[in-house]
Amino acid sequence: MTTPTRVFGLLLATATFVAIGAASAIADEPNSAAWPDGESRSVLDTLIRFGGGTVGLFIVISIFGLLTARNNFKPEPGTELETSAHH
């Protein structure tokens, strides 16, 4: 199996599952006057609700990476260093 075939198979499976999930969501949506529409969200509210978690997680991981990074100690070269070679 070649790489393009694997990529195509992965994309096809992903698209299939997204379509199945969307069809289920549409079927479960109430469609009568007994269920009035809820409050509409603004674009900013939608961006904060769905994008804020992703951006926040990215920031937390970046801060964790910066806090746990360390600089290794490198002594400055000098003449007082011993060599391990025995003559």
Q: Which is more confident, 10 or 51? A: 10
The pLDDT tens digits for 55-67 are 888 999 999 988 8
Specify the pLDDT at position 60: 92
pLDDT band at 18 (very low <50, low <70, confident <90, very high): confident
Torsion of CA 28, 45, 59, 18, to 10 degrees: 20
pLDDT band at residue 36 under the 50/70/90 scheme: confident
pTM of the model: 0.37
